[in-house]
Amino acid sequence: MASISLRNIVKRYGHGPKANQVIHGVNAEIHDGEFVVIVGPSGCGKSTLLRMVAGLEEISGGEIAIGSRVVNQLEPAERDIAMVFQNYALYPHMSVFDNMAYGLKIAKVPKDEIKTRVDKAAKILELGHLLERKPRELSGGQRQRVAMGRAIVRQPQVFLFDEPLSNLDAKLRAQTRLEIQKLHRELGITSLFVTHDQVEAMTLAQRMIVMNGGNMEQFGTPEEVYHRPASTFVASFIGAPPMNLLQQAPGGKPGQTLGIRPEHLDVVASEGWELHVDTVELLGAERLIYARLGDEPLIVRVEEGASAPLPGSTLRVRPREDRLHWFDASTGKRL
């Protein structure tokens, strides 16, 4: 196993005046055995960053080390990593066993060693009874497990995942998420996992890197990112519905943006802020009240048992003092 160091990583596509810089100096130390999620909207550079760690993209600036080895100049095969993609492209004419064994055969690993490793991976992934099947005889979730098996048998120092669950339906995605967690508990292999889905990030990550436009906005545990977002971008990207961001909050200071999460506004009978209610949504265990404070939109989250205000009515809420977040209005950074 190994740590991963990203030191001032820069990526430009193309050369000369037409070059397009898409990663602007990312620094992060991923510990040995840690499960780190890279999360951010589409196009922010997640795959590019992961592919540079894998050796599938050249690094334009900075240094990547896996363990104590700087890998900038190493071929993917020399980096001791295994990657699982969204499109896991199994060989259709090969059995599950052969799909998992293929890379090891190419690497001339002895036959009984291959069998031992495939059997062990199949056991962990509960694929033991499917080893003779062809990919077309498997469900989507089983195929994705074979793709993970193919990575496990390599016994790499590092796992790299690029949105591996995106092709699965919601239920299977949640289930496979649990399997990946279990896999990480059992094998303890340093993992970098890319997703655009903040729920997936929050549930899988030991720590997460939040990316925005080629910059790292924050690197922290899910708790830190949720409770102490480093910027208005992180505040609105993590958490659904997002944190309310107000420019003209009562008691606010000029040049500061106030952030307050929808669940940290208590409905009160008098005083507090007076809101105008636009619509109310029932989401099973809770209701979302879409309202306005002056002309700024605001969402309030209440339990489903609480009475629902009527659209067009007014509602009073009090923000919890210890849950207020202040950001610099011009830079968006936390104050």
Residues that bind ligand ADP (CB under 6 A): 13, 20, 22, 40, 42-48
Q: For residues 44 and 100, which CB has a smaller minimum distance to ligand ADP in the complex?
A: 44
Q: For residues 86 and 206, which CB has a smaller minimum distance to ligand ADP in the complex?
A: 86
Q: For residues 13 and 326, which CB has a smaller minimum distance to ligand ADP in the complex?
A: 13
Q: Which of Mg ion, ligand ADP, none does residue 154 bind (CB under 5 to 8 Å by kind)?
A: none
The dihedral region occupied by 58, where left means phi > 0, alpha psi between -120 and 50, and beta the remainder, is beta
- 2, 36, 37, 47: which one contacts Mg ion (CB under 5 A)? 47
Cα separation, 69 vs 5, whole angstroms: 10
| In the complex, minimum distance from the CB of residue 40 to Mg ion, in angstroms, rounded to a whole number | 10
| In the complex, minimum distance from the CB of residue 46 to Mg ion, in angstroms, rounded to a whole number | 5
Q: Which of ligand ADP, Mg ion, none does residue 45 bind (CB under 5 to 8 Å by kind)?
A: ligand ADP
Q: How many other β-carbons are positioned within 10 Å of the β-carbon of residue 168?
A: 19
Look at the chain and count its residues.
Answer: 335
| In the complex, minimum distance from the CB of residue 232 to ligand ADP, in angstroms, rounded to a whole number | 20
**Count of residues in contact with Mg ion, rule CB under 5 A:** 1
Directed axis angle between helix 96-106 and helix 140-152, to 10°?
20
Q: For residues 47 and 142, which CB has a smaller minimum distance to Mg ion in the complex?
A: 47
Stretch in the footprint of Mg ion (CB under 5 A) among 11-19, 39-47, 235-243, 251-259: 39-47
The DSSP result for 225-282, as a single string, is HHHS-SBHHHHHHSSSSPPEEESS-TT--TTEEEEE-GGGEEE-SSSSEEEEEEEEEE
Q: For residues 49 and 258, which CB has a smaller minimum distance to ligand ADP in the complex?
A: 49
Q: How many other β-carbons are positioned within 10 Å of the β-carbon of residue 144?
A: 25
Residue facing Mg ion at closest CB distance: 47
Query: Going along 114-189, which residue ranges are E strands?
Result: 158-162
Q: For residues 46 and 261, which CB has a smaller minimum distance to Mg ion in the complex?
A: 46
Please enumerate in sequence order all residues whose Cβ is within 8 A of that of 102, keeping only pairs 6 or more positions apart, or say none: 91, 94, 150
Instruction: Please state, in angstroms and as integers, the Cα–Cα distance from residue 65 to each residue in 54, 80, 229, following that order.
Output: 11, 12, 28
Does residue 48 interact with Mg ion by CB under 5 A? no
Q: For residues 87 and 116, which CB has a smaller minimum distance to Mg ion in the complex?
A: 87
Q: Which helix (H) or strand (E) holds 36?
A: strand 35-39
Q: How far apart are the first and last CA of the chain?
A: 38
State the amino acid at position 155 in one-letter form.
Q
| In the complex, minimum distance from the CB of residue 194 to ligand ADP, in angstroms, rounded to a whole number | 7
| In the complex, minimum distance from the CB of residue 47 to ligand ADP, in angstroms, rounded to a whole number | 3
Query: For residues 142-161, which are near Mg ion according to CB under 5 A?
Result: none
Residues in touch with Mg ion (CB under 5 A):
47
